[in-house]
Structure formats: structure tokens, C-alpha cells
Amino acid sequence: MIYELKVIFIYIYQIKEMLTYRQLEHFVAVAQELHFSRAADRLGIAQSAVSVQIQQLEQELGVRLLQRNKRQPITLTDAGKLLYDEAVATLHHMERAQQVGRLAAEGLSGNIRLGYVASAVTSGLLSHMLKSFRPGHEQVHMQLMAMETPRQLQALQSTEIDVGLIRPRRYYPEGVEAVIVHGESLMVAMPDSHPLAGKPLLQAADLRDQVFIAPQFDEAEGFAQVLSRLSTAAGFPVTATYRVNDFITATSLAAAGYGIVVVPESIRLFSQPGLVFRPVSEFQERVYLAMAYRSRENSPAIRAFVAVARLCGTSRI
């Protein structure tokens, strides 16, 4: 008997993929109710339709699944008991697959790889976008990756990331689009012991002969152009003595007395101890962040995030 049950189990396992959802659904209903009429009522169909489905299922399997006796309740055969466990598990997986498929098609589940520059964090833009997108998209997994603008643009083209929060560029790689989503004023950060720290508002002339620290100096575009524009506004050359890759390093040097640094206003929220920030009257320029994404994106989840993020950006510029 044990050998026969094993053979039946292997046979059922091998052909269960051939069975239809309806056949398994009807069989499970009968197996649980142990009554054709009650199973039919539960399924909302005629009893004859249930009987036909069970008969077809037994014919396809070549084995009796139910013991039918007019004077006694329906019972499951040994093969029926084996199939019941498999059928319940299969229906569960099929229903889960259908649910996942529906959520993915509606953009309510999936994966999004999001690149960002440091200013997206210090400005609060990144957290604002993520918080706005979260409701209704709890099944979307967000993977966050800090990287500079040039690297993000490469990663977008190679599909390593799906969306990027970057410094705007005049030109973007083929297949990549971008929209401005944040703008803010510039300030000068300096140690609180600096001679200019006592002035609430700086003049451009005050910055002559100062030692400048330039974040992201290795970029040909983006924030690296700020010192050039400051030099034009001030009317004298402004060059960087210290060249670093990020604002955290730049403000750390400034707080230690190595020089001054032009930063977005939001950096004040993450300031180092001993650091002060002052606006420059003749330099009212703003700097921006853009959201970049592939123009032909097929993922509903990514398209949904871009749509929400665009609205977040519109409210913050």
C-alpha cells in the first residue's frame, strides 16, 4: 500500500501542471465540503458542473479521487488525500501569482533603484519623495544608492539604476530625460572664528583673497561652475585652494579653519560644530536638483514613482 501511494503521489506531482485552475478549485471545494451540492453552492454554479469537472479530473489522472455512495457521505480516496494537499498549495501559489501580477501591472509592487547626490539628502528632497510615494506602494522595494551625477547618468543608460536625483546638465545621454525638482539659494560657510563671521550679510568684495574650498571640483558641469559665476559677480578671480568631492568634507575643512565654502542653504541643517553661514548680497543665484530617468521606461512602478516625484518637486521649487 505504501509503495502504491508513493507511485500515485509521484504521478500526481508530475501532471499537476497540466490541471486547470477550475478543476483544482472544484476538487478542493468538494474535498472540504464532502458534498457536491454544498460545494456547488459555495462556488455559485450548478451541481452538475461540479460533477463534470471532478469526473474529467479523475479521467485525466486515471485514478479515483472520491468514494461516492448514495447512502454514505463522500470520502477521499488515498489518491484524493494526496491530491488535496497539492491542490491547496497550488491554488495558493496561483492566487499569489495573480495578485503579484496585478500589483506589478498597476505599479503597486516591484523594485526601484534610486541614485542620489548628497544634496538630495541635506535638502530633504529624497525623504520627501520617498514619504509621498510610500502610501499605496508598500510592496515596492526601494534600493537607494549614493553616487555623483556623472556616474548616475552612466548608470541610467546601463540600467544599473532606474531614477537619479542629480545636478542638472545642459545635455543628457541618449534615452535619458530630466526635470528640475528642487531649487535653493547659496550661502558661504565659514568657521565661527573667521573675521567675516560677525557680518550678517556679506558683500562680494568681502570675499577677495579668501581661501576657497570647492566641493565636486572634478565635474565639468554642475556645482563646480558656482565659483566661476561668483568670480564674475565679485569682479575678481575666485579659485579653489582645496578641492574635495562632497559637501561634508568641504564643511569639515571649513569648520576647522582651512577656508570658506559656497554651499546650498540646506547644508545648514547638517552643519558641523563651529560653522556659520552667511548670504552674499550680490550673489542671489540658486542651484537646482533634477530628477533623471529613462524616457522609454516600461516598469509601471518606476513610472508611478516618477509621476509622484515630479509633483513633489513642483511643490518645492
pLDDT bin (cut points 50, 70, 90) of residue 257 is very high
Q: At residue 183, does pLDDT exceed 80? A: yes
Show Cβ contacts of residue 73 under 8 Å, excluding neighbours closer than 6 positions. 34, 35
Q: Mean pLDDT in the chain?
A: 82
Instruction: Choose the CATH number for 112-317 among 3.40.190.290, 3.40.50.920, 1.20.140.10, 3.40.50.970.
Output: 3.40.190.290
Average pLDDT over residues 200-218: 83
pLDDT bin (cut points 50, 70, 90) of residue 9 is very low
Number of H helices, E strands in the chain: 11, 11
Element (H, E) at 17: none
User: pLDDT digit string (tens) for 193-202?
Assistant: 999 999 999 9
pLDDT at 6: 44
pLDDT at 11: 45
Angle between helices 300-314 and 125-133 (to 10 degrees): 130
φ/ψ of 170, rounded to 5, equals -70, -35
Nine-digit cell string for 164: 537619479
pLDDT bin (cut points 50, 70, 90) of residue 219 is low
| Contact between 225 and 218 (Cβ < 8 Å) | no
Percent of the chain with pLDDT over 90: 32
| Contact between 163 and 299 (Cβ < 8 Å) | no
Report how far residue 107's alpha carbon sits from residue 139's, in angstroms, rounded to the nearest whole number: 9
| Contact between 82 and 15 (Cβ < 8 Å) | no
pLDDT bin (cut points 50, 70, 90) of residue 51 is confident
pLDDT at 98: 65
Give the CB-side neighbour count of residue 303, counting CA atoms within 13 A.
10
Angle at Cα 234 formed by Cα 230 and Cα 238, nearest 5°?
A: 55
Average pLDDT over residues 284-307: 89
| Contact between 79 and 8 (Cβ < 8 Å) | yes
Strands 66-69 and 72-76: antiparallel
Straight-line distance from the first to the last Cα atom of the chain, in angstroms, rounded to the nearest whole number: 76
Domain boundaries, the chain: 2-105, 112-317
| Contact between 16 and 63 (Cβ < 8 Å) | no
DSSP 275-288: EEEE-BTT---EEE
DSSP collapsed to 3 states, 104-120: HHCCCEEEEEEEECHHH
pLDDT at 42: 84
pLDDT at 113: 95
User: pLDDT digit string (tens) for 53-70?
Assistant: 888 888 887 888 888 877
What's the CATH architecture for 2-105? Orthogonal Bundle (1.10)
* β-sheet bridge partners, residue 180: 290
Show Cβ contacts of residue 44 under 8 Å, excluding neighbours closer than 6 positions. none
Confirm whether 2-105 and 112-317 share one CATH topology: no
